[in-house]
Amino acid sequence: MLRDFFIPAAFAGPMAQPCQHESYAQSGVMYESSRLSVEWLKAFLENFRQPAFGFGKGSKAWQARAVKAWCQVAREWQTMKFPGAKTVLAALAAVTGLSPKMLREALANHFLVFNEEILKKWLASVKRERDKHAEDKVKYPSLAFIVTAGNIPGVAIHPLIHLSLLGIPVLIKNASSEPLLLPVILETLARHDPEVAARIAALTWPRENIDLTQTVIQHNPALIAFGDDNTIEKFAQQKKSFADFGDRFSLTLVNPVSAKTKMRHIAYDLCMFEQMGCLSPQAVILLTDDWKKVDRFCAQLAEAMAKMNARLPIGKRSAAQHASIQQWRGALAARGAAGEKIILLTSAGTDWTVAAAKNFDLNERVACRFARVWPVASIKELAAIVHRYKNKVQILIWGNSAHELQKFFDSPELDETFDHLFFSFAGLAQTPSCGWLDEVNPAWRRLTRGLRLKTTLQ
């Protein structure tokens, strides 16, 4: 039986008897966190928080065992070869609507970059930067609080592992809509090294239970929050500084002349997580205004989307998702009927869509494998789009070769708009490097380096 919480073995749980929540009855999940109380949480936090290892006394031994333990976990989850793996996938499919094949692919991606060499290199880079800013060093926190989001299963895995390597006690608030994955991962960790797992807990309560959230905030943890703009704004009102991973999206940039061999990679990024993650492209920016090339590109992408649909089935979509897809398609068809140049290619049902137009409003988000192809006449026009959404763009995904990317960087039209943006390649955006969060979030980078808020990072 799966549980929606994990606490170290040394602590007594908050509930005398587990309570099965009716919405999870079909997937065999015990919704035990429903018995959480403010009194229990206060007592738990007082005993759970403790000095972090960081790079101080005992840190080398801690880091060695934490690296070993997490690498063992990563190997099991990459292959999904551990006790109860099929049950976990079935339960996650039931609560997320994602297909088991999609979930298996996603979980393998989450853990792909974690091996002993990579984790040790990350720790070494963190120490170098911390030592470089010796005058700005502060103590690592005795408690970190990660608030997860439910749209992307495993979204908090990377920050959790990084904090664990530094020996920082971490309390995770699971999303009520997906409370299962992290507790199961932590059970795997505890099986390999109970001491490493003893500095991590995962609990679940609804966002409406403000008293429980405030109880944690009052213990002044380092806060790492995932969520929509409203969630981030509420935490911003309570904490002067925290690492926020709010509402973001990515863009794919493609030169259509040499994109044919990369088409399946472009389709892969559009299909993963049903296009709901910060690394999911909300538009494919096509570096041409030649509509013959646009038409050919869309036909090639539609073929690739159909093939990827077979490889990564869509799972179970809600009635609202089906309605949204039809609404998006209908709006584009109406624009075409009014005389605007529109290309609209669709599956027989609502599985996937490829649509091209001269303009899109990216504040209106799409999902469910809905590829918006946006042709631009120049890099200047591209820069205007990126600048317009600069507070929302997480990364830029390059849909051509590394050689083509270098030519793009060498273009005299390129301006400062692109200076601080993180680039990835199509097909690799869903498996970002171990330290990618350091590149896209300065607050997170300062937290993991143990540096003052004022520290200027290069």
pLDDT in tens, 90-103: 999 999 999 999 99
* 15: confidence class by pLDDT, cuts 50, 70, 90: low
| Statement: residue 151 has pLDDT above 70 | yes
Asked whether this chain's domains 2-247+437-449 and 249-427 adopt the same fold, the reply is no
CA 268 to chain centre: 16
Task: Give percent above pLDDT 90 in the chain.
Answer: 85
Q: Which two tokens stand for residue 198?
A: 């003893």
Look at residues 258, 265, 259, 273 and name the one whose alpha carbon lies nearest to residue 308: 265
pLDDT in tens, 437-456: 999 999 999 999 999 977 77
Q: Report the pLDDT averaged over residues 53-75.
A: 98
* 29: confidence class by pLDDT, cuts 50, 70, 90: low
Task: Give percent above pLDDT 70 in the chain.
Answer: 96
The pTM for the full model equals 0.94
Q: Report the pLDDT averaged over residues 44-50.
A: 97
Q: Report the pLDDT averaged over residues 417-439.
A: 93
Identity (one letter) of the amino acid at 415?
D
Q: Report the pLDDT averaged over residues 65-77.
A: 98
Q: Is the CB of residue 183 less than 8 Å from the CB of residue 95? A: no
- Burial of residue 390 (CB within 10 Å: 0-12, 13-18, 19+) is exposed
Q: Which two tokens stand for residue 454?
A: 């004022």
Question: What is residue 346's predicted lDDT score, i.e. its pLDDT?
Answer: 98
Look at residues 28, 50, 46, 30 and name the one whose alpha carbon lies nearest to residue 38: 46
Q: Report the pLDDT averaged over residues 218-235.
A: 93
| Statement: residue 131 has pLDDT above 50 | yes
Question: What is residue 35's predicted lDDT score, i.e. its pLDDT?
Answer: 83
* 350: confidence class by pLDDT, cuts 50, 70, 90: very high
Fold of 249-427: Aldehyde Dehydrogenase; Chain A, domain 2 (3.40.309)
Question: What is residue 455's predicted lDDT score, i.e. its pLDDT?
Answer: 74
- Supply the mean pLDDT for the chain: 93
Identity (one letter) of the amino acid at 354?
V
In the chain, domain spans: 2-247+437-449, 249-427
C-alpha neighbours within 13 Å on the C-beta side of residue 410: 6
| Statement: residue 181 has pLDDT above 70 | yes
Domain 2-247+437-449, CATH: 3.40.605.10
* 396: confidence class by pLDDT, cuts 50, 70, 90: very high
Question: What is residue 26's predicted lDDT score, i.e. its pLDDT?
Answer: 45
Q: Is the CB of residue 143 less than 8 Å from the CB of residue 219? A: yes
Q: Report the pLDDT averaged over residues 257-269.
A: 95
Question: What is residue 20's predicted lDDT score, i.e. its pLDDT?
Answer: 47
Question: What is residue 83's predicted lDDT score, i.e. its pLDDT?
Answer: 85
Question: What is residue 446's predicted lDDT score, i.e. its pLDDT?
Answer: 96
Query: How distant, in Å, are the alpha carbons of 67, 307, 431 from that of 427?
Result: 27, 15, 8
| Statement: residue 365 has pLDDT above 70 | yes
Question: To which residue do tokens 């094949």 refer?
Answer: 101
d(CA 64, CA 52): 15
d(CA 58, CA 140): 14
Question: What is residue 24's predicted lDDT score, i.e. its pLDDT?
Answer: 45
| Statement: residue 316 has pLDDT above 60 | yes
| Statement: residue 171 has pLDDT above 80 | yes
Q: Report the pLDDT averaged over residues 151-178.
A: 96
